[in-house]
Structure 1
Amino acid sequence: MPERPATPSWFPSTPGEEPPDPPLSVWPTGQRDLATQLRDADCVRGTDIDTDLIPPAIAAHAIATYTRPGDLVLDPDCGAGSVLVAALQSGRHALGLTANSRWWKLARANITAAKAAGAWRDGSVLDAHPKVLATIHAAGLIGRVGLVLTAVRTATDDSGEHATGPDHDPIAAVEELAATLAYCEPLLRSGGHLVVVARPHRQPDGSLVDLTTALIAAGTSAGLAPVDRCVALTAGLRGNRLVTRASLADRRAVARATGAALALTAHHEALVFQLAHDAELAAAAADSHWPTEDEIATRPAVNGVDYPGWRRAA
């Protein structure tokens, strides 16, 4: 996959101007621990109980990279609302959905806190399943969403505890997410992106679950094209080494594994998708040749006329 979003927005706009640096494939989002991030984002007490939430720094980085001020950011399974807070604080509109009553209360409280702190964009959270996005109730959202940003969520009850059993493993959660991605595809505006953030999960033997393959398949089946695969650090950078801040669940998983040396995880995975036709157009544009100043100067005239539009087009 490319190391930057497949979008023509980074093409040079004036002669001699270099395109901006492409977005990083490694996001430096782990320079503060999660508790500090939640506190600095003014999230309400209890937000940290949502163990599947997207850390505020990761949400803010994705929003800054893939949206413009005033865009609409949608999280179709928003949990406690960390994405909604990051969107409002970045000057974007925010809409979240959750059918979990505990998460709905927390997300609503977080939106209220963000607005009280000065965020003036529109933000709301609906007590609803993602499938409502495929009904007439969401007709006004078609083609309006600049970014869908959501996490892979394993099943939880209202206490916030993760359910166990074969029906609630991470791969099953991705299969449920596949339907949600299909609901979101018609809502994306042209040039919009859909980003799925997945925290690492381990098998009983301690090995990491391959969520990437399942997520790419889920996005493709929803009519989306994968355009980027990024690593969002949850560890701090200290010179040439990482300061790991693994969760308690991950530490326990490593402790249970026997017979193999295992490293603590230091990142979340971020899979970036676009509408299939947008990705095709961007790929075609990226393959086109942009003439240099020397090529423009030496280009022969047509019928004896040197058209100035060539220079503007370059």
Structure 2
Amino acid sequence: MTDRPTSPWPLPLPPGEEPPMPPLSVWPTGQRDPLAQLRDAGCVPGTETDTERIPPAVAAHAIAIYTRPGDLVLDPDCGAGTALVEALRAGRHALGLTARSRWWTLARGNVTAAKTAGAWRDGSVLDARPKVLATVRAAGLIGRVGLVLTALRTAPADPNNQASGPDREPVESALADLATTLLYCEPLLRSGGHVAVIARPLRHPDGSLVDLTSPLIAAATAAGLAPVERCIALTAGLRGSRLVTRASLAERRAAARARAAGVPTALTAHHEVLVFQLAHDAELAAATAAGIPWPTEDDVIRPAVNGVTYPGWRRAA
């Protein structure tokens, strides 16, 4: 078994061609360890220091399933740029944003390395926060993005920035920032496009898992998106009927300390993947599956975002 999917399903297939299998809700993306994945992708040294990066195998799987060759993949908080590298390697255009100069340098280096290795699609990294997507600078992206692929990042883009308030917890702040980012990204999606959010399991001080799914779905719904899939991207390898965890030394030590303190803690073996579409697209797909006629509108307008009205499909109420 490999990390890379071979089937384009669930994208439309040529007439008469049947998909070989339905899409999996559990992605076999942990067959190679994290450092081996970075080497396979040709990432530059230092990429491994981005501990909240999207694993290359997870990015490759999402891109293969939810995009077509030539699509534009956007990561509005790209970190060291692993998602951008996989987009370019798969023949997609890639655009990333990051507000941290360290990640910008690494992401630029990774994009350059991918192009040097033969990727011919356009890849860019902007030294900017996601808010730029709601300005006139991003007007050319409206309705063009095939996939927004990003991770929930709990480390602040600017550790010295107290704009979110000193009393905000890192997870709470990260969820609020991502909610705003999704609002900026929604007008950029093309019809049929997807948003995929990758979330690493996080734990409370008592060892219990943090519920990230509920607030992420609520944030996406508020941005005019509808949940369409919830998947598990394995970070552990499959060896017959058992999982081989690939936890870091720090994670193993933390689990050992928790067990010694009488709080059994399992090593995480997956990332959660929440997939969304424009609310109209999700409603249309559901109506089509149920055989319900769907009225067409020639001039549907989305409500204004940051004072700008975008033509396109309506949002959910």
TM norm structure 2: 0.82
Task: Provide the rounded CA distance (Å) in 2 between the counterparts of 1:120 and 1:8.
Answer: 25
Task: Provide the rounded CA distance (Å) in 2 between the counterparts of 1:147 and 1:251.
Answer: 34
Against the structure 1 CA distance between its residues 252 and 217, is the aligned structure 2 distance closer, same or farther, given a 3 Å change threshold? farther
Are 1:288 and 2:288 matched, yes or no? no
Equivalent in the alignment of 1:108: 108
Answer yes or no: is the 8 Å Cα contact 2:37–2:56 preserved in 1: yes
Unaligned runs of 5+ in 2: 1-8, 160-165, 293-317
Answer yes or no: is the 8 Å Cα contact 1:8–1:285 preserved in 2: no
Equivalent in the alignment of 1:227: 228
Task: Provide the rounded CA distance (Å) in 2 between the counterparts of 1:252 and 1:212.
Answer: 27
Give the CA deviation at 1:202.
1.1
Task: Provide the rounded CA distance (Å) in 1 between the counterparts of 2:63 and 2:44.
Answer: 21
Equivalent in the alignment of 2:262: 259
Equivalent in the alignment of 1:279: 282
Equivalent in the alignment of 1:175: 176
Task: Provide the rounded CA distance (Å) in 2 between the counterparts of 1:74 and 1:226.
Answer: 18
1:168-196: CA deviations, max 9, x gaps? 42232111100000000000000000000
Specify the code of the residue in structure 1 equivalent to 2:269: A
Task: Provide the rounded CA distance (Å) in 2 between the counterparts of 1:271 and 1:265.
Answer: 17
> What is the number of equivalent residue pairs in this alignment?
276
DSSP-derived class of the 2:168 partner: helix
1:256-280: CA deviations, max 9, x gaps? 4332322111000000000000000
Unaligned runs of 5+ in 1: 1-6, 160-164, 290-314
Specify the code of the residue in structure 1 equivalent to 2:221: T
Q: Give the alignment of 1:203-222 within 5 angstroms.
A: 203-222=204-223
Identity %, equivalent residues: 74
Task: Provide the rounded CA distance (Å) in 2 between the counterparts of 1:231 and 1:172.
Answer: 24
Specify the code of the residue in structure 2 equivalent to 1:170: V
Task: Provide the rounded CA distance (Å) in 2 between the counterparts of 1:218 and 1:67.
Answer: 23
Task: Provide the rounded CA distance (Å) in 2 between the counterparts of 1:8 and 1:158.
Answer: 38
Indicate the structure whose relative CO is greater, using CA pairs within 8 Å and at least 6 residues apart. 1
Specify the code of the residue in structure 2 equivalent to 1:247: S
Structure 1, 101-110 or 248-257: larger mean CA deviation: 248-257
Are 1:54 and 2:54 matched, yes or no? yes
Against the structure 1 CA distance between its residues 277 and 155, is the aligned structure 2 distance closer, same or farther, given a 3 Å change threshold? same
1:93-132: CA deviations, max 9, x gaps? 0000000000000000000000000000000000000000
Task: Provide the rounded CA distance (Å) in 2 between the counterparts of 1:247 and 1:272.
Answer: 27
**What is the Cα-based RMSD across aligned positions, in Å?**
2.0
Give the CA deviation at 1:66.
0.1
Answer yes or no: is the 8 Å Cα contact 1:190–1:275 preserved in 2: yes
Give the CA deviation at 1:33.
0.3
DSSP-derived class of the 1:167 partner: coil
Specify the code of the residue in structure 1 equivalent to 2:63: I
Task: Provide the rounded CA distance (Å) in 2 between the counterparts of 1:135 and 1:211.
Answer: 29
Are 1:193 and 2:194 matched, yes or no? yes
DSSP-derived class of the 1:95 partner: strand
Task: Provide the rounded CA distance (Å) in 2 between the counterparts of 1:124 and 1:236.
Answer: 32
Task: Provide the rounded CA distance (Å) in 2 between the counterparts of 1:23 and 1:137.
Answer: 36
Against the structure 1 CA distance between its residues 113 and 210, is the aligned structure 2 distance closer, same or farther, given a 3 Å change threshold? same
Against the structure 1 CA distance between its residues 178 and 249, is the aligned structure 2 distance closer, same or farther, given a 3 Å change threshold? farther
Against the structure 1 CA distance between its residues 126 and 76, is the aligned structure 2 distance closer, same or farther, given a 3 Å change threshold? same
DSSP-derived class of the 1:181 partner: helix
Task: Provide the rounded CA distance (Å) in 2 between the counterparts of 1:157 and 1:105.
Answer: 14
Specify the code of the residue in structure 1 equivalent to 2:175: V
TM norm structure 1: 0.83
Task: Provide the rounded CA distance (Å) in 2 between the counterparts of 1:152 and 1:249.
Answer: 20
Structure 1, 217-226 or 169-178: larger mean CA deviation: 169-178
Specify the code of the residue in structure 2 equivalent to 1:223: G
Task: Provide the rounded CA distance (Å) in 2 between the counterparts of 1:138 and 1:205.
Answer: 43
Are 1:70 and 2:73 matched, yes or no? no
Are 1:270 and 2:273 matched, yes or no? yes
Q: Over alpha carbons, which structure has the higher Rg?
A: 1
Answer yes or no: is the 8 Å Cα contact 1:102–1:158 preserved in 2: no
Specify the code of the residue in structure 1 equivalent to 2:130: P
